[in-house]
Amino acid sequence: MIVTCVFVHVKAEHVSDFIAASRGNHQGSVVEEGNLRFDVLQSTDDPTRFLLYEVYTTPEAAARHKATAHYLEWRAAVADWMATPRHGETYRVVYPADVSRW
């Protein structure tokens, strides 16, 4: 299993746009083969900051996500709305050890 956390800082005037555009990416992602979770989270302290929490069964499934139409549309739509470049960090799951609960 592979988890990617994508940290996003959006320009204040585009927060609503970002949320709307991210809905389609979320909806497409959760039905991808190998996807276990795809959460779009907004900071309660700073509404311009978001975290995309992506869980895939394999690194290959995560890589396939980046070739999907919904991801490519989202990436193009949000590109100019970034206050700073978004960045992702990849993690392996330590706990829960029993990932079948997901």
pLDDT at 79 over 90: yes
pLDDT, residue 101, reads 58
* CATH class label, 2-92: alpha beta
> φ and ψ at 31, to 5 degrees?
-105, 5
pLDDT, residue 97, reads 73
pLDDT in tens, 9-37: 999 999 999 999 999 999 999 999 999 99
Strands 35-42 and 82-91: unpaired
pTM of the model: 0.91
pLDDT at 76 over 90: yes
CA 31 to chain centre: 14
- Can you give the residue ranges of every domain in the chain? 2-92
Residues of the chain above pLDDT 90, percent: 88
Average pLDDT score over residue span 57-85: 96
pLDDT, residue 102, reads 58
pLDDT, residue 84, reads 97
pLDDT, residue 98, reads 67
Query: What is the rounded CA–CA span in Å between residue 80 and residue 61?
Result: 27
